[in-house]
Structure 1
Amino acid sequence: MAHLIEQMAYVGATPWHGLGSRLSPKQPIEIWQREAGMDWKIQDSPVHFKSDSIGALGSIHTFPDQKVLYRSDTKAPLSVVSQRYQVVQPREVLEFYRDLTEVSGFELETAGVLKGGRKFWALARTGQGTTLRGNDQVNGYLLLATSCDGTLATTATPTTVRVVCNNTLTIALDGSAKAIKVPHSTRFDPQAVKKQLGIAVSQWDNFMHRMRMLSERKVQWHEAMGFFMNVLCDANPNMPLPAVLPNERALRKVQCLYEGQGRGSTLESAQGTAWGLLNAVTEYVDHERRARSIEYRMDSAWFGQGAQLKQRALEAALQLAA
């Protein structure tokens, strides 16, 4: 099976999928652009079609409301979109971080291209970090991703990464993720996004205060089972259970991760706590959940159903600790 990850560059430890070009720290944006496979442009062309008619060639027509997006390097088609579709170029995703890395202390850690160029991203460490009980280190990141096939708005997401297991979690307050989304019907304005993000990034201390609360909230066995059944099976443990429990395989796997098989599950911050419950789910989504490939799992964990499942787990854990 072809890799979903077209090309990728990274700094530091080899990513879990073992793909990509390793760079030394603090490389300029231009090097990242080349090594991450983002040194091409999205170009467009009118949509043409051939109608049936007498003769070998038929009649060629233009459909004026749509355009084809394609890669400048390989000429490979990417998608068909409306004429109003606002393209964000791969280099714009990296350029977003130029002043952040040169002035604000950010450091790019990964960048790459998914699905043949239909989706691309860059992830940078912000320099913020917190240590929970038992030397459980959590660092702050900023993920910027976009697509050119309509599957993802241009999205800037403050994200945490738990060092012991590389679990990722979107920063959320008041029950909602603090991502900034720019639909492709409007022009991407990086400075406006950074201005909005200033508020979200400044809320790091507030968010980590809540994570510390989770690490201090001890849970009983029945609370843990209720949490997993609610998050994974959409079942109320106080009600009669169905004859066949939906998503039972995931339930059993996450329970094992929580009870000692998960990376970092025996740390003081996680063992028998709401923080441990949350990280059992995030580890399952990021590393264990069934997927067509590791790359599809990554795409889901950051942008798809996996990301939604982690958000649901976060909300349930915060409710448990309230």
Structure 2
Amino acid sequence: MGHNLHTNEKTGKVSFAAVGEKAWHGLGQYVESAMTAEQAIELGGLDYEVKKKKITVAGGAIIPGYFATVRTDNNVPLGIVSEAYHVVQNRDAFSFFDSIIDQGEAIFQTAGALGKGEQIFITAKLPKDILVNGEQVEQYLILTSGHHGKKGGAIQIGFSAIRVVCNNTLQAALRNLSNKITILHFSNAKAKLQTASQIMGMTSSYTTELTESFNKMASVKITDKKLREYIETVMRPASQVITKEELENGYSNRFVKTVDEIMDFAKSHPTQLTDAANGTVWGAYNAISGYLGWVKPYKSQEEKMTDLYFKNGAKRIETAFDVAMSLV
């Protein structure tokens, strides 16, 4: 299944919960308004614990230095970890948000588990929104954590901003701001989670600087020619130097197709025709995130989420931010 969401064998429920309209896969539980932590844990299928268990082979011999991470509710193994690995329970992951908002406040938008429950994800809306030329931009945090011990299983927390009119995902990529952190599964992981807001520099200056940057983008017009140059700069493969002549000669059909698709999104999508976005650098910046979030194909929802928030997609959006700021 492309979505890779976990399905509880006992209840038959898919481990995914969200606010509002159904996701593309149509699975899971949906509520009308933001969830509390307890609701997100229950509806998102995250109400299970994980323990480390010794690994034995035939004859009862124990493999030294390695353990299996196992769900206690169904005894399903999730991964192999070292002795130093520290399990961070799903409920503990929510403690990060307690340092930002009052406990029990309904802020959670999505929550779920992937595979057999070896990877979880949570998104929450921050209390304060941003206004860009009168257009509302909501601030979000996403947290992912793995129980499998593999690469990508560390606790990762990152900022994003979502335009209310279209739900385009934007990585808030401000220079000199720590907009993403990684916490490894060691003994101090839970303590780091509880103070993560301080590590990330989550202060009022973050919102102020982000608002100023976005409004600068919205105040500067951009021509179609400059828009295409902007998209080419942001989306050009790092290992591939493409000249104008090579582009005209079809040097990279895939690259040209991508640029064309982003141009089309920038010029025709309803979310790009607002006063703040239409023909502005802000609109150009949003065209990149719009393409990555709505047009670009992904193999699975897991791949899409990981790419947009923590991998190549996030890097593209960071580049889009830097290049956009150079134009204002």
User: Fold conserved (TM > 0.5)?
Assistant: yes
Residues 186 and 159 (structure 1), Cα distance of their counterparts in 2 relative to 1, 3 Å cut: farther
RMSD of equivalent CA atoms: 2.6
Q: Which residue of 1 aligns with 2:50?
A: 42
Q: Which residue of 1 aligns with 2:246?
A: 241
Alpha-carbon separation, structure 1, partners of 2:265 and 2:85: 43
Establish whether residue 113 from structure 1 lines up as the match of residue 121 from structure 2: no
1:267-278 aligned at under 5 Å gives the runs 267-278=274-285
Alpha-carbon separation, structure 2, partners of 1:171 and 1:33: 26
Establish whether residue 266 from structure 1 lines up as the match of residue 273 from structure 2: yes
Q: Deviations over 1:44-65 (max 9, x none)?
A: 2223345xxxxxxxx5543212
Alpha-carbon separation, structure 2, partners of 1:239 and 1:23: 50
Gaps of 5+ in 1: 51-58
User: What TM-score, normalized by structure 1, do the two folds share?
Assistant: 0.85
The answer on whether the counterparts of 1:230 and 1:236 sit within 8 Å (CA) in structure 2 is: no
Task: Identify, as 1 or 2, the structure richer in strand.
Answer: 1
Secondary structure in structure 2 of the residue aligned to 1:270: coil
Q: Which residue of 1 aligns with 2:141?
A: 142
Alpha-carbon separation, structure 2, partners of 1:62 and 1:200: 49
Alpha-carbon separation, structure 2, partners of 1:178 and 1:88: 22
1:66-105 aligned at under 5 Å gives the runs 66-98=66-98, 100-102=100-102
Secondary structure in structure 1 of the residue aligned to 2:323: helix
The answer on whether the counterparts of 1:43 and 1:72 sit within 8 Å (CA) in structure 2 is: yes
Alpha-carbon separation, structure 1, partners of 2:261 and 2:54: 49
Q: Which residue of 1 aligns with 2:40?
A: 32
The answer on whether the counterparts of 2:114 and 2:120 sit within 8 Å (CA) in structure 1 is: yes
Establish whether residue 307 from structure 1 lines up as the match of residue 307 from structure 2: no
Residue 94 (structure 1) shift: 2.4
Residue 145 (structure 1) shift: 1.9
Residues 267 and 141 (structure 1), Cα distance of their counterparts in 2 relative to 1, 3 Å cut: same
The answer on whether the counterparts of 1:233 and 1:248 sit within 8 Å (CA) in structure 2 is: no
Q: Which residue of 2 aligns with 1:56?
A: none
Residues 275 and 303 (structure 1), Cα distance of their counterparts in 2 relative to 1, 3 Å cut: same
Residue 224 (structure 1) shift: 1.4
Is the deviation greater in 36-45 or in 310-319? 310-319
Alpha-carbon separation, structure 2, partners of 1:141 and 1:109: 9
Aligned-pair identity in percent equals 23
Higher relative CO (CA 8 A, sep ≥ 6), structure 1 or 2?
2
Q: Which residue of 2 aligns with 1:288?
A: 295
Q: Which residue of 2 aligns with 1:55?
A: none
Q: Which residue of 1 aligns with 2:214?
A: 211
Establish whether residue 231 from structure 1 lines up as the match of residue 219 from structure 2: no
Residue 299 (structure 1) shift: 3.2
Q: Which residue of 1 aligns with 2:18?
A: 10
Alpha-carbon separation, structure 2, partners of 1:172 and 1:201: 16
Residues 70 and 104 (structure 1), Cα distance of their counterparts in 2 relative to 1, 3 Å cut: closer
Residues 61 and 240 (structure 1), Cα distance of their counterparts in 2 relative to 1, 3 Å cut: farther
User: What TM-score, normalized by structure 2, do the two folds share?
Assistant: 0.84
Residues 106 and 141 (structure 1), Cα distance of their counterparts in 2 relative to 1, 3 Å cut: farther
Alpha-carbon separation, structure 2, partners of 1:81 and 1:269: 49
Secondary structure in structure 2 of the residue aligned to 1:292: coil
Residues 159 and 2 (structure 1), Cα distance of their counterparts in 2 relative to 1, 3 Å cut: closer
